[in-house]
Structure 1
Amino acid sequence: MLRDYTFECLVTMPRHELEEFSARIISRMVPEDVMSEIFTFEQEEIDSEERLLSARLDAMLRMTAIALSETQQAFDDSENATQNSVRMTRLVLWHFYAISFRLEQAISLETHCEHVEALINNAPTDVFGWVKALTELLHGYAEISDKQNPQD
């Protein structure tokens, strides 16, 4: 069976396999020099814990956006180009959800997968579109989390 990285697939796969494979895909999509540039911070970005956290989150968002924008082209020559691209998009978005932003604390995997499917149906085609889409996704998740866990 071909892994499609939908909700049913993700909940049955061992987490370490998902982590390893998604990290390999991202490292394949984002060249090492670009990764180094993204995660190199200016002094003013690291002069406080809050700024450092913000810079890291921004870097992870940009890294994910680059990986997602490269996914379509990476599989253009494969036998099932569209299917492979969609599968890897789901996997990279799982990485974004579980590893980069640890959103499992705020949003269920099932909710995340529902949002991913909607996003895939109208997927951006370039890195700037992905940055916008991922930022909107994070804002949407924050709203959902706030509604589910209202602060007293």
Structure 2
Amino acid sequence: MQRDYTLNCLLTMPRHELEEFSQRILSRMVPEEVMEELFTFEPEETQTADRLRSAQFDAMLRMSAIALGEVSAAFADSAQATQNTERMTRLLLWHFYAIAFQLEAAVTLEQHCEAVENILPNAPKDTFGWIKTLTDLLHHYASLNDNQQDNASSSL
């Protein structure tokens, strides 16, 4: 049985395997020269820690959007194109959540997987669509985290 990268799979799969495989898929979807361009910053982007962090976040968002935008084309000729596309989209969205933006302290894996399953039925087909979707997802995660913080402080 193939791994589907849904919540149960992510909970049972060793973390190092998820990290390694998601990195391999990401590297396959985003060529090295594109990575170098994304993560090469102008001098004004590195003048302060805040500006550098902002440039790094933007680069990670774009890297994720590029990779996700390439998934459909990469698996279009496979025997189970739709299933493979969804699986790899879930995996890359896990990478976005857990590795690129390290959101595990802010949003539970359950919340992340629920958001992913809501995205999949109408997933964007290109990088520009994914940039908007990922930006919206980050805003959604910020809202979830704010609500969790409010609930935690009101229960004190």
CA–CA distance in structure 2, aligned partners of residues 126 and 77 of structure 1:
17
Measure the CA separation in 2 of the matches of 1:91 and 1:49: 30
TM-score under structure 1 length normalisation: 0.98
CA deviation map 1:20-77 (0-9, x unaligned): 0000000000000001000000000000000000000000000000000000000011
Q: Secondary structure at the match of 1:103?
A: coil
Cα-Cα RMSD: 1.0
Partner letter of residue 45 of structure 2? E
Percent of residue pairs identical: 64
Q: Measure the CA separation in 2 of the matches of 1:49 and 1:60.
A: 16
Q: Which residue of 2 aligns with 1:13?
A: 13
Q: Secondary structure at the match of 1:3?
A: coil
Q: Distance in 1 between the 2:71 and 2:147 partners?
A: 33
Q: Which residue identity does 1:73 align to in structure 2?
A: A
CA distance in 1 between counterparts of 2:141 and 2:147 reads 10
> Can you give the 5+ residue segments of structure 2 that lack an aligned partner in the other structure?
none
The letter for the 1-side match of 2:14 is P
The answer for the alignment partner of 1:80 in structure 2 is 80
Measured in 1, the distance between the counterparts of 2:103 and 2:24 equals 20
Aligned residue for 1:129, secondary structure, equals helix
Aligned to 2:104, the other structure's residue is in SS state helix
- Alpha-carbon distance in 2 for matches of 1:146, 1:51: 23
1:33 aligned to 2:36? no
In the superposition, the TM-score normalised over structure 2's length comes to: 0.96
After the TM superposition, which segments of 4 or more aligned residues of structure 1 sit over 4 Å from their partners? none
Number of residues of Structure 1 aligned to a counterpart in Structure 2:
152
